[in-house]
Amino acid sequence: MPDPIVPRKKTTGISGSVKNRPAAAGVDLSEHLRSHGIHPTQQRLRVLKVLVESKAHLSAEEIHGLVRAQTPRIGLATIYRTLHALKEKGLVEEHRFNDEFSRYEAMPANHHDHLICIECGKVVEFDQPLIEQLQLAAAKENHFSIVFHRLEIYGICESCAALHKKNP
């Protein structure tokens, strides 16, 4: 079972079903940052805002592009620095799907896993509490205490499958 290459370009917008982020539901982003020990500069607020409002899992490049619409002179280094800080404080999650670069999302209220279409790159989030329980059992059996986990299912989404039937 070889890893198919996900044929996705950096610029591709990726949609995914996303639950309400806590910060999107009216929480003051500035206070959100401050309460996590991050000084809320304009740049940091805008990076976080882009992530909170986005329905996608964004690359650093994409975040840079979106933030630049409001703050044209912001540098890519600031994006990376901010993402590191946010990640370290647990406000942002980093994913490495089948790309050669990372994608980021604002930390959701609940952990979830990902279904990723290897044709179009669409990412759908899901959660299966039972899977988490079985993971706990597997960890216990091997004398591990779980800190976090990552479950990614790669496959073909409904619309790509339909396309295949039309143009096989």
Residues near 46 by Cβ (< 8 Å), separated by ≥ 6?
67, 70, 71, 74
Residues lying near DNA in the complex (CB under 7 A): 10, 38-39, 41-44, 59-61, 71, 73-78, 80-82, 84, 100-102
Q: Which is nearer to DNA, 5 or 138 (CB)?
A: 5
Residues near 20 by Cβ (< 8 Å), separated by ≥ 6?
109
Total number of residues that touch a second copy (CB under 8 A): 46
φ, ψ of residue 11 in degrees (nearest 5): -85, -5
CA–CA separation, 151 vs 127, rounded Å? 10
- Scanning 18-26, 38-46, 70-78, 137-145 for contacts with a second copy by CB under 8 A, the matching segment is 137-145
Q: Which chain residues interact with a second copy by CB under 8 A?
A: 1-4, 87-90, 93-94, 96, 107, 111, 113, 115, 117-118, 124, 126, 128, 130-131, 134-135, 137-139, 141-158, 161
